């Protein structure tokens, strides 16, 4: 159904010509799910944009072909291409907040797609839009269809984006991180919906994701991408049972779960090399635990090894091989440093008692307050010094609202009652200088890195801003040294500090957001889905970094996430939220292994497993 052959894409950047895709070739059959995985910045999303002919202004396809059935996509005029996008190829973008029009109601955006690509019009199109919103799990779709995007959570915006794409009834779907912002129950619902559409319509699916558990449950074939090249292609079951390429093995070793709790994850050292350079050997060689001198001098080809393809000199005929595949961490890849365990009787650093957050509902020409929506209802919990409390639950249950209320970001938008005591002081009572001093102690990592980073500031300025505002006595040379250290810790190269946020991939932007929160050395960090946009290798680096900071500085985390594997690995205690209330909380092992509440059981049953 879809064939990409010898595709090459270049970007004209300030640092030089970026060869984002180099000789990519793949084919996807009708009704097949083909997963494209790899680290952030490897070219996965650029492949999707090239396929849709939506490359940025500085991007150009320099070689190759893209065939959709009998149509040569790259030869089409732009007017003809518009009939292909949406109707024949639909795309779910990685960042719904930047893909939805902020000044249009979500229903109008879905209706627009329906009227553009199907015969339905008017009331019939609106009814179909409501049906699609219901199918992707939007609660009360008849009412929410008239909401603007800013009134929805990150996961709900993602569902709207999925509904808009599927409403055009395409033959082929490009899904770029379609479940990144979704909790496990909605993720299962969306993935089941995609499977149903495949059965009914023979939908071809190119799935771009870093969630290997989703790949294991969805994909027929897997292609692993690194530095603009595909380095391994295999049937999904064979890929997970016996990965061949050293990079594939390292990725699987980096996955967090309860079995690795208390140990550092096998994070792959270094970062993806800059694609402005000319390569004279294997692109993974500087980070490979098995590299030989020949690996840095000879460019490997993608060779067939009995039904699967691998790009590695060591695995080609006559190569020395890698030895048996294993899930155990390789010494040259990871560290054996134990992560800290919070003391049982640690004094609470943060004590939240009977927290209520009510948003006013305004109506009429004068926008008078008619009632209030209770987003958080009587929530109580504590976070000890050096402890990690995971807050889990479905999208829209109030997790992010709870975090924002604690860091005083909802004072102008909501009515807040209750107490949030940080070292004895109620954060809700602080004003002026006292509030500014408290912000040095409490920071937040936002769920959407693109929307939370100033697009007009370079990364260096973004990281420096918080230190200058909250720690003005810090000398410039100390600030500079701290910024360089933190950038290295989160896996950003030094040259990245002089670039703007739009020049990075979604996962790289998340690393910038994490570095910004760490820059002021807080005592408590509210982590709102901090690893949701990260691939597993960078996720391992970040989780190791958070563990090191907790051990060295005693930092506490309120960890808001839907990734149960991360919860199993990092959390000391877990609180489960449903409809604004905490329905169950306790020690991590107790809640996840012996849940009492029925909602917790349903939540855990929906978790994808390898």
Per-residue model confidence as pLDDT tens digits over 32-42: 999 999 887 78
Spatial separation of the C-alpha atoms in residues 20 and 42, rounded to whole Å: 8
Nearest alpha-carbon partner for 595 in 437, 302, 393? 393
- The full 3-state SS of 362-425, as one line of letters, equals EECCCCEEEEEEEEEEEEEEEEECCCEEEEEECCCCCHHHHHHHHCCCCCCCCEEEEEEEECCE
Spatial separation of the C-alpha atoms in residues 244 and 233, rounded to whole Å: 10
- The full 3-state SS of 76-145, as one line of letters, equals CCHHHHHHHECCCEEEECCCHHHHCCCCCCHHHHHHHHHHHHCCCCHHHHHHHHHHHHHHCCCCCHHHHC
- The structure tokens 């650029």 sit at 46
| Whole-number CA gyration radius for the chain | 24
Residue 268 DSSP one-character state? P
Q: At what angle do helices 184-201 and 154-167 cross, to 10 degrees?
A: 10
Asked whether 560 and 380 are in contact (CB, 8 A), the reply is no
Residue 495 DSSP one-character state? G
Spatial separation of the C-alpha atoms in residues 387 and 346, rounded to whole Å: 8
Spatial separation of the C-alpha atoms in residues 232 and 312, rounded to whole Å: 9
Nearest alpha-carbon partner for 189 in 256, 121, 255, 132? 132
Enumerate domains of the chain plus CATH numbers.
2-219 (3.40.50.300), 242-253+264-315 (no CATH), 348-605 (3.40.50.300)
Asked whether 207 and 178 are in contact (CB, 8 A), the reply is yes
Q: Count other Cβ atoms within 10 Å, centred on residue 309.
A: 20
Nearest alpha-carbon partner for 457 in 466, 448, 447? 466
Spatial separation of the C-alpha atoms in residues 326 and 252, rounded to whole Å: 9
Per-residue confidence (pLDDT) for residue 181, from 0 to 100: 65
Give Cα 273 to chain centroid, integer Å.
21
Per-residue confidence (pLDDT) for residue 332, from 0 to 100: 32
Per-residue confidence (pLDDT) for residue 361, from 0 to 100: 86
Spatial separation of the C-alpha atoms in residues 159 and 527, rounded to whole Å: 22
Q: Count other Cβ atoms within 10 Å, centred on residue 456.
A: 8
- The structure tokens 């990364």 sit at 459
What residues pair up with 508 in beta bridges, in sequence order?
A: none
Per-residue confidence (pLDDT) for residue 341, from 0 to 100: 46
Spatial separation of the C-alpha atoms in residues 590 and 584, rounded to whole Å: 11
Spatial separation of the C-alpha atoms in residues 64 and 184, rounded to whole Å: 38
Residue 233, both tokens: 């292609």
Per-residue confidence (pLDDT) for residue 323, from 0 to 100: 52
Backbone angles phi, psi at 189, to 5 degrees: -65, -45
Asked whether 53 and 81 are in contact (CB, 8 A), the reply is yes
Q: At what angle do helices 476-489 and 506-518 cross, to 10 degrees?
A: 140
Per-residue confidence (pLDDT) for residue 333, from 0 to 100: 33
Q: Which helix (H) or strand (E) holds 599?
A: helix 598-605
Residue 183 DSSP one-character state? -
What is the length of the chain?
A: 610
Spatial separation of the C-alpha atoms in residues 561 and 390, rounded to whole Å: 7
Q: Count other Cβ atoms within 10 Å, centred on residue 112.
A: 17
Q: 265: which residues sit within 8 A by CB, 6+ positions away?
A: 254, 255, 256, 329, 334, 540, 543, 544, 569
What residues pair up with 415 in beta bridges, in sequence order?
A: 358
- The structure tokens 């993720």 sit at 187
Neighbouring C-alpha atoms within 13 Å toward the C-beta of 339:
25
Backbone angles phi, psi at 245, to 5 degrees: -70, 140
Per-residue confidence (pLDDT) for residue 257, from 0 to 100: 79
Neighbouring C-alpha atoms within 13 Å toward the C-beta of 196:
9
Weakly modelled stretches of the chain, pLDDT under 70? 181, 323-347, 506, 533
Residue 531 DSSP one-character state? T
- The structure tokens 């970001």 sit at 409
């Amino acid at each position: 159904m879809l064939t990409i052959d010898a595709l090459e894409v270049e970007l004209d950047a300030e640092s030089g010509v970026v060869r984002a895709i180099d000789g990519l070739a793949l084919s996807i059959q009708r009704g097949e799910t083909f997963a494209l995985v790899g680290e952030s910045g490897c070219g996965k999303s650029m492949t999707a944009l090239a396929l849709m002919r939506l490359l940025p202004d500085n991007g150009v396809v320099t070689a190759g072909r893209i065939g959709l059935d009998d149509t040569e996509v790259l030869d089409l005029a732009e007017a003809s291409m518009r009939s292909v996008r949406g109707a024949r190829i639909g795309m779910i973008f990685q960042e719904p907040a930047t893909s939805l029009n902020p000044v249009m109601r979500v229903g109008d955006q879905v209706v627009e797609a329906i009227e553009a690509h199907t015969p339905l019009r008017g009331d019939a199109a609106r009814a179909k839009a409501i049906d699609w919103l219901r199918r992707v799990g939007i609660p009360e779709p008849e009412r929410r269809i008239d909401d603007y995007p800013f009134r929805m959570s990150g996961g709900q915006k993602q569902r709207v984006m999925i509904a808009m794409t599927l409403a055009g009834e395409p033959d082929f779907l490009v899904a770029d991180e379609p479940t990144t912002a979704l909790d496990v129950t909605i993720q299962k619902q969306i993935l089941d919906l995609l499977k149903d559409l495949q059965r009914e319509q023979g939908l071809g699916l190119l799935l771009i994701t870093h969630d290997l558990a989703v790949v294991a449950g969805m994909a027929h074939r897997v292609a692993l991408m690194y530095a603009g090249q595909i380095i391994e292609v295999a049937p999904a079951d064979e890929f997970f049972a016996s990965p061949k390429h050293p990079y594939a093995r390292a990725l699987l070793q980096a996955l967090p779960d309860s079995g690795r709790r208390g140990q550092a994850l096998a994070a792959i050292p270094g970062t993806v090399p800059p694609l402005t350079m000319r390569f004279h050997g294997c692109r993974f060689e500087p980070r490979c635990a098995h590299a030989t001198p020949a690996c840095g001098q000879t460019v490997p080809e993608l060779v067939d090894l009995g039904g699967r393809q691998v790009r590695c000199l060591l695995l080609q005929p006559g190569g020395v091989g890698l030895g048996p595949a294993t899930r155990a961490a390789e010494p040259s890849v990871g560290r054996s440093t134990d992560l800290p365990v919070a003391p049982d009787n640690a004094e609470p650093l943060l004590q939240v008692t009977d927290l209520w957050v009510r948003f006013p509902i305004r109506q009429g020409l004068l926008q008078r307050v008619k009632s209030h929506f209770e987003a958080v209802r009587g929530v109580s919990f504590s976070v000890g010094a050096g402890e990690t409390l995971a807050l889990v639950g479905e999208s829209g249950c109030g997790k992010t609202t709870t975090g924002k209320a604690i860091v005083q970001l909802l004072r102008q938008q909501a009515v807040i009652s209750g107490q949030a005591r940080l070292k004895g002081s109620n954060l809700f009572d602080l004003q002026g200088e006292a509030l500014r001093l408290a912000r040095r102690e409490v920071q937040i990592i936002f769920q959407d890195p693109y929307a939370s980073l100033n697009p007009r500031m370079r990364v260096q300025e973004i990281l420096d801003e918080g230190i200058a505002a909250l720690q003005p006595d810090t000398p410039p040379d100390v600030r500079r040294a701290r910024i360089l250290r933190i950038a290295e810790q989160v896996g950003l190269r030094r040259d990245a500090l002089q670039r703007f946020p739009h020049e990075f991939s979604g996962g790289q932007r998340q690393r910038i957001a994490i570095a910004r929160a760490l820059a002021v050395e807080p005592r408590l960090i509210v982590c709102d889905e901090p690893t949701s946009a990260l691939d597993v290798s960078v996720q391992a680096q970040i989780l190791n970094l958070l563990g090191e900071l907790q051990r060295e500085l005693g930092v506490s985390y309120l960890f808001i996430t839907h990734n149960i594997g991360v919860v199993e690995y990092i959390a000391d205690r877990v609180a489960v939220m449903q409809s604004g209330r905490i329905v169950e909380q306790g020690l991590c092992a107790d809640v996840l292994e012996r849940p009492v509440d029925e909602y917790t059981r349903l939540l855990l049953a929906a978790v994808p497993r390898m």
